[in-house]
Amino acid sequence: MANIATMDRPQRWDSPFDPAMTEQDVQMLLERPEFAGIDSSRFPPSLQLAGIIQNDCRLVRFKPGEIVVREGDYGNSAFLLISGQLTIVIKPGLPSRLLGRSSIRKKGLFGAISQIWKNSKFPEARDTSRYSNLKDTSTRTTETTVQNTSLLTSRYADKLFKNTIVDPAKAKEVPPLRDEYETASLRPGAIFGEIAALGRAQRTASVFAHNEALLLEIRWQGLRDIRKYDEGWRRLIDERYRNNMLKEQLIEHPLLKNMDEQKIQEIADHTLFETYGSFEWFRTYKQSKNQSQLNTDAEPIVAREGDYSDGLLLIAAGFARVTKKVGHGTRTLTYLREKDEFGLDELYDSWKNGQEIALETTLSALGYLHVLRIPAHILQEVIFPFMEEPTKRLVDAAARPLASDSLLEWAVSERFINGTQTMLINLDKCVRCDDCVRACATGHGGNPRFIRHGKSHGGYMVANACMHCVDPVCMIGCPTGAIHRSTEGGMVIINDDSCIGCGTCANSCPYENIQLVEIKDLEGRPVLDPASHQPIMKATKCDLCQQQPSGPACVRACPHDALERMDFRKGTILKTHSER
Amino acid sequence: MKDINDNSHENNSYLRPNCSFQCGRAKMWRKPCWQGPDQKGGCGGTSECTPYRKGDRYECRRPKHAGGPCVQGPLPDGQCANTRVACQPKPRLRERRKQFSLIAVVTVIASIAALMTTGENGKLSPLSMDAGQLSSVHAGFTREEGCGSCHTVHDKDALSWLQAAFTPHDQTEGCLNCHQFGGPNTAPHNAEFPDRSDLPNPTCNTCHTEHKGDNFSLVQVSDALCSNCHQSNTTSFVKNHKAFPDDFPSSEPNTIYFNHDKHLGEYFVEDKWLDKRDRAFGERARDACVTCHQVETASREVKPRPYREVCANCHDDQIRGREFVLLTYDSLTPLSGLLLGLNEDDADDEDIGGEKRAELMEKIAESGFDPVSELLDEQGQSDFTTRLFKGMNSESIRNAATAWAEGDDYEPEGGTEIKLRGWKAGENANGDQAISYLISGHEDQVIHDWVDYIVAVLNSTDDENLRDSANYALSFLLDREEGAGACGKCHQAGVVSSVIQPGKHEIQWGYVGQANRPYTRYSHAPHINLLGSNAGCKTCHKLNAEADYTAYFENFPPQADQFVSSFSAISKDTCTECHRSKIARFDCQLCHTYHHKPGFNIDFQEKRKTSHE
Amino acid sequence: MASIPAILLKQRNWAPYAILAGIMVALFVATALSSTYLAHHLGDPAYVTGYTLFGFMVFLIIFNIRKRLSMLPIFKVRWWTPLHVASGILVIALFWLHTGTLWPGGLYEQAIAIIFYLVSLSGLYGYMVLRVYPGWLTQTGIEVIYEEVPAIVADYREEAERLILECTKETRSDTLARYYTETLDWFFRRPHFIINHLLGGRKGIHWVNQHISTARRYLNDTEREYLDKLNDLASKKNRIDFHFAIQSMMKLWLLFHVPVSVALFLLSLWHLLLVNVYSL
């Protein structure tokens, strides 16, 4: 008994979003029409609305000109404007340097080197006193605190505003931006950012405070729970989700790049919005993987080879497989993801030649898939007359030798296509020296954050290291938000401080890349929960060495050029249609 | 059994290759325990878990990745049911590598330290630095003192070592304890070249490397070393060494007039001469150069044998019995003119010369030889008094003078004595009454002394009169045809006086070789050994019939620029016939030397004695 | 096309190696030329060759240190490895340039020389091992982590013993059990045929096949089913043995190379000190 340390098992709201939230704040918020209309009796006793507001929300105040959200950021929260006015910059985006892109605090040279001797000699040692401190202080942030950037005081002010600002400090509201900026205003009661928060997607536009503004920031767990138990919010969120997502995606789609607002609106009015597969695709995927060989039949067919197409399919989110029948089997030609389209070639040919042409390939959903369907008549009226004839066809990929398919088939069936930083090891070069593992351990307090073992195929191995997925399913279900995307670069990171070791993420990860570890204190004693006497666990995984000055240490350390962190899309064979 | 491809997070945990130890069980090919060794290399656990008491019963706490709670569950007393004997964890290969490296470090440092003998006062003396065997020439003197003989820092304390490590030094000073040179020690070629102040001063180490084994030649250096300074285009003697001068090697006039062409072409060949002289010798000399040249001591030069062995065979008769006349009863000779301080004209003049002569004769008649010594005293040449008139009978000349004063001929007492040599008064070979001297042969001392006397006068006086007189006297003595000694026939005495030191007169009687070129060397000996002594000489030394050898000797005083050797010049091509690759050496050092007069500044005999005591 | 990660290219790109080789040759020529220049300007060529040699030796030895500093952005280790190999070869040439001989005089110099040759040879051997063996491992079709080998071997042994017990229980015949204790037990104890595996031989699988087929004639159908399972297990274990042998060699050569390199470095350092104290 003497040789163990104890601490309370962390709970869902152990680390509230903002400990400074008071009862009065919560009361005030509950009285606002957005919350007053909610039937709080539908919430379970352990997850009361007041509790959600208390723990999953915080009040933030912005001065005129200060940026609230930045385009391109990964955000885990949505906002409700309580008072004041915000401006949303629709296009063009604000200069990226103005958006700050605050970097994660990297270790300095000495800090980096000192790891060699400072690292604990005990595996998974933690300073447990830190965890208890965190509960009381308000300084806690999951990421480096970012000083709010203000448009008014920025170096780019001259380029942003029509007139020069005389005294930024005293300005009560932001003067109009130059004409090239298209903006819209948000008034109290507006909710925004919910798409990025729930869709695990990047923010689509920047928002800044027009005048002094008070906002309620709701982290996505809270938003998720409110949406789950309140019909009104669900309708609101779904409606907006559908409309905004649709328009954003149409605007950003390469095919519609040069369309004017009117045409986009016309297209949007007629576009159908469809989803395939399940939102939590990884659960069924893991099950089917355990049961037997994956078969493509388990993937819902979106469009079938030989059928006639009634519209162009734009991929809005998720992945889809493009296949073609070869002999007695099906062959994967490529896979599609966000911003790719399907069926263009056939529809264009049909329009041009005036006769219907059947689909040359089949499209099936890999797990969760959002598709926008633009009907054929809209294409013929609005789009085809103004676009150039496509030079490359999706089916062109069928020309390559069958033998070259295997890596793609493997990557798709193992869903490595999801990864952006997949650890690929060339086994013909790897001398099994474990330098990568040791380097990783050095950068993480003496603990490796991956296992140099994993699925292999044709001399390549994808090691069990976090791939920093495009669709990070591990983030679904984290009760505390400990697992999140870093503001910069979108790396998936686990905040050790708020992780309660529930294992949800580890169980969600289809690639088994998250490991739960039993922590020890600095003296090397196992840390146990005093109640159950079970060890305190923490979820751990690769964080891409975000604190190191050098980027992923495993790549740096490999002496034989055998290890790479890569996006499978970068391989020629795997290039998606639109990138070719 | 666990599938080796199972990568589920439940069944796996991080592998930690950064840990130093591995389970001792694994080392014995048994199943390692899930805990693994602890950080100090001790056994990590003798039981699968530490069961926890919950209420009144114990619960297994084995983690999931190790298999989860065990089937048996804990024993009633709270002990784990799966206990095992503690293992002895073993270091991993990397840890072993670290240990081996440490052993390597310790071994190296210990070996170095062990081979460092620390003498008194913490002096360092590393035996571990055997830098290689010394050359045989240096191995001896260092035997007693050891490394310290040259390396001053040896046997010093650690601080001196540290200082020495950061201060440049070389062994030159040590070398000069024994070695010395004919000029500045480190100056290039031990000489000063005023025009070349840019030349560096190399140290001994620049060219000479020690510790290369006992057979290593310290003096042999590569040609490249020479080209450090001599940055000519010469890269090889054969290819691009400049041609030898067209008067090589006899650029300087001979001091002995010996016409090889005449001797070998006529005198040793034609019966006319052979009959007249020594036929046997002539024939020998004709056939073999070594008849006249001292091949036994051949080195840079093959000197001619002495007069007595060679020239005398034919020429001795031409010298012995020649007579020189000091004065006759009625005239002065240039010699007596010089004694009286009269120039050529005055001496021949009846009035001036006659009066002086009469005066002298009168004095001689009165007091014999004394007046002559007085004359020499007046000229400051009293040293010569006895030498010039060695063997002269004072009484005899007084009598002769008396007789001549009275108008009589002088007859020595006891009748006319036929003298073969020495001074005599009375009738000479011409039938004149005279005081004369009969030359005894080659190297006659009195003639020598007279020449020395004349030279002494020439060197000591500025009086034009006297100098004229002296020059007149000199030619009277030396003239190759008429001269009393006819020395000039062979001895080009004037060459020396005019060429070597203009204005300063010196008679160089003997054979003088070609001037020494200080930085070149040549040895005849190996060449003669190889080529043979007779025909061999002619390989390089070829008579040149065209050459006007005599011209130089026919003028007095001779003009150096008129000298032409009777041999053709030796060209580089002659050398490169053999000195080329794969036949014979042709490196710089074969013919050129670097040091000027290298030698030792210690007395090895003395050293030997002291070292034996 | 430029965006294809190098790791996916099966074809090795030789251009960087050619450039590296060129640089190394150029460095050698530069050193040789400057030492010749010194020799022609009354300098000591050993000075420039010696310090160049020592400099490269420092570079070679800090490879080990650099590998520990993976967190620093000082060129990826993948660049250091070819540099290490190329410098290692260059250093051999520099060594000869410096000493002017294959075998120097002087006891201490000879000690350095022999250590130097040991380091160079072990390095060349190691490089060969690291270039040839990974491909062999890939061809086994399985991937095993070295540290896991004992656990896997123990696992296989337990499984084999379990099979034998089960077989005995089911068939009430101890033939297979007897055969196991006489032969296969030895095989399952620990990895075997190490040397043969290192040489790429097939002795291990041959041994297994031979012994399994020998046993077959004494067994009935039920027992043969167990024998087939045993055969499967033994073949798998043979592949583990192969991995163990190859991976051991890929690590063991360093067990020699590194300590000897450290010794060489110290000896060279002492040599440098002595030379400075005694003659420079």
**In this complex, do C150 and B26 lie within 8 Å of one another by their Cβ atoms?**
yes
Q: Is A122 on the interface with B (CB under 8 A)?
A: yes
The mean pLDDT value for A189-211 works out to 79
pLDDT tens track for B382-422: 888 888 888 888 888 888 888 888 878 887 765 555 666 78
A465–chain C nearest CA distance, Å:
15
In chain A, the N- to C-terminal Cα span, in Å, equals: 63
Mutation pick from C4, C7, C76, C146 vs chain A, by most beta carbons of A within 10 Å, is: C7
- Closest of A172, A227, A164, A179 to residue A199, by C-alpha: A227
Residues of A within 8 A of C70 (CB-CB) are 435, 438-439, 442-443, 550, 553, 556-557
- Percentage above 90 pLDDT, chain A: 11
CB-nearest to B1 from C44, C148, C159 is C159
ipTM over 0.85: yes
On the question of pLDDT at A345 being above 70, the answer is yes
Higher per-residue confidence, A260 vs A579: A260
Instruction: Tell me the per-residue pLDDT of B194-211, one tens digit each, with 9 for 90 and over.
Output: 888 777 788 888 888 888
C-beta neighbour count of C149 within 10 angstroms:
20
What pLDDT shows up at residue B105? Answer: 96
CB pairs under 8 A between B and C: 131
Give the nearest partner residue to A555 out of C76, C137, C138, using CB atoms.
Answer: C76
CB contact under 8 A, A551 and C73: yes
Using the Cβ of C247 and the Cβ atoms of chain A, whether some distance falls under 8 Å is answered with: yes
Question: Is the Cβ pair C70, A426 closer than 8 Å?
Answer: no
A113: chain C residues, CB-CB within 8 Å? 69, 71-72
Whole-number Å distance between alpha carbons of B109 and B102: 11
Poorest-pLDDT segment among A4-8, B241-245, C72-76, C175-179 = A4-8
A551 in contact with chain C, both atoms CB, cutoff 8 A: yes
The pLDDT of residue C168: 93
Q: State whether residue A431 sits within 8 Å of chain B by CB.
A: no
Average pLDDT over residues B529-557: 83
Chain A residues with beta carbon closer than 8 angstroms to that of C77: 435, 556-559
Burial zone of A494 (CB within 10 Å; 0-12 exposed, 13-18 middle, 19+ buried): buried
Three-class DSSP category at A502: coil
pLDDT at A135: 43
Q: Which of B6, B12, B18 to mutate to test the interface with A (most CBs of A within 10 A)?
A: B18
Q: Which 8-state DSSP code applies to residue A150?
A: B
Judge: A441–B18 Cβ closer than 8 Å, yes or no: yes
Query: Of B5, B107, B227, which is closest to C263 when you measure between CB atoms?
Result: B107
Residues 94-153, chain A, touching C (beta carbon < 8 A): 107, 109, 112-113, 115-116
Closest Cα in chain A to C251? A433
The Cα B307–Cα B292 span in angstroms is 9
What is the average per-residue pLDDT within A393-403?
Answer: 80
Candidate from A15-19, A119-123, A312-316, C259-263 with smallest mean pLDDT: A15-19
C219 phi and psi, to 5 degrees?
-115, 150
Between residues C42 and A188, which one has the greater pLDDT? Answer: A188
CB contact under 8 A, B29 and C142: no
Closest Cβ–Cβ partner in B7, B38, B39 for A464: B7
For B153, the closest of C44, C270, C277 (CB atoms) is: C277
Per-residue pLDDT for A576 more than 60? no
Q: Which residue of C has its CA nearest to B3?
A: C152
Q: Which of C5, C72, C130 sits opposite A571 (nearest CB)?
A: C5
Give the CB-side neighbour count of residue A207, counting CA atoms within 13 A.
Answer: 23
What is the rounded average pLDDT of the residues B221-231?
81
> Helix crossing, B352-367 with B394-405: angle to 10°?
120
As a whole number, mean pLDDT of residues B420-443 equals: 83
Quickly tell me which residue has 């020598």 as its tokens.
B448
**CB distance A432–C77 less than 8 Å?**
no
What is the Cα–Cα distance from A347 to A364, expressed in whole angstroms?
Answer: 19
The reported pLDDT for the residue numbered B415 is: 53
Contact, A383 vs A325, CB < 8 A?
Answer: no
All chains having 3 or more CB pairs closer than 8 angstroms to chain B:
A, C
Q: With CB atoms and an 8 Å threshold, state whether C77 touches A459.
A: no
Partner-chain contact C143 A549, CB within 8 Å = no
| Chains contacting A (3 or more CB pairs within 8 Å) | B, C
The residue among A553 and A73 whose pLDDT is bigger is A553
The amino acid occupying position C46 is: A
Q: To the nearest 10°, report the CA torsion of B338, B342, B347, B350.
A: -140
- Are B18 and A446 in contact (CB < 8 Å)? yes
Q: Which residues in chain C are contacts of B164 at CB distance < 8 A?
A: 276-278
The answer on pLDDT for A297 being more than 70 is: no
pLDDT in tens, B250-292: 888 888 888 898 898 889 999 998 888 888 898 888 888 889 9
Mean pLDDT of B202-223: 84
**Rounded percentage of chain B residues whose pLDDT exceeds 70:** 92
> In terms of Cα–Cα distance, which of C157, C158, C160, C149 is closest to C241?
C149
Shortest Cα distance, chain B CAs vs residue C1, angstroms: 34
Residue A578, pLDDT score = 44
Q: Which residues of A are less than 8 Å from B15 in CB distance?
A: 437, 448, 451-453
Cβ contact, residue pair A453, B8, below 8 Å = no
Closest residue in A to C142 (Cα–Cα): A456
What pTM did the predictor assign? 0.74
Q: Report the residue of chain A nearest B14, measured CA to CA.
A: A451
pLDDT at B563 over 90: no
* Residue-wise pLDDT tens digits, A18-56: 888 888 888 888 888 888 888 888 888 888 888 888 888
DSSP 8-state class, residue A125: B
Searching chain C, which residue's CA lies closest to the CA of residue A451? Answer: C145
User: Residue C1: what pLDDT?
Assistant: 31
Do C130 and A431 count as a contact with CB atoms less than 8 A apart? yes
Chain C CB contacts of B129 below 8 Å: 108, 274, 278
Rounded Cα distance between B398 and B469, Å, is 26
Q: Do B15 and A452 touch (CB under 8 A)?
A: yes
Contact at CB, C105 and B211, closer than 8 angstroms: yes
Per-block average pLDDT, block size 10, for chain C (280 residues)? Answer: 51 82 93 85 84 94 86 79 93 93 83 95 96 92 91 94 94 91 93 95 94 90 93 95 96 95 94 82
Q: Do A517 and B39 touch (CB under 8 A)?
A: no
**Res B496 pLDDT > 60:** no
Which of B25, B84, B101 to substitute to test the interface with C, most C CBs within 10 Å? B101
Q: Which residue has the higher pLDDT, A565 or A8?
A: A565
Residue-level length of chain B: 613
Average pLDDT value for residue range A4-14 = 69
Contact residues, chain B, for A446 at CB < 8 Å? 18
Q: Would you say the C-alpha torsion A176, A177, A183, A186 has a positive or negative sign?
A: negative
Return residues 154-213 of B near C (CB < 8 Å). 154, 161, 164-166, 168-171, 200, 202, 205-206, 211-213
State the average pLDDT for chain A.
Answer: 80
Q: Which amino acid is at A479?
A: P
B residues 102-121 lying closer than 8 A (beta carbon) to C: 103-105, 107-109, 112
pLDDT at C7: 60
d(CA B587, CA B224): 10
- Which residues, in sequence order, are CB contacts of A13 under 8 Å at separation 6+? A51, A54, A55, A56
The arithmetic mean of pLDDT across residues B510-524, rounded, is: 81
Distant-in-sequence, close-in-space partners of B159: CB < 8 Å, separation ≥ 6: none
Distance from CA of B221 to the nearest CA of C (A): 12
What is the mean predicted confidence (pLDDT) over A130-147? Answer: 43
pLDDT category of residue A14 using cuts at 50, 70 and 90: confident
Query: Among all chains, which residue has been given the structure tokens 């599609």?
Result: A336
Q: Residue length, chain C?
A: 280
Q: What is the mean pLDDT of residues A450-467?
A: 91
Percent over 70 (pLDDT), chain A: 82
Mean pLDDT of B4-8: 83
Closest residue by Cα to residue A492 from A517, A508, A471, A518 = A471
pLDDT at A296 over 50: no
Mutate to test the interface with B, among C44, C47, C64, C147 (most CBs of B within 10 A): C147
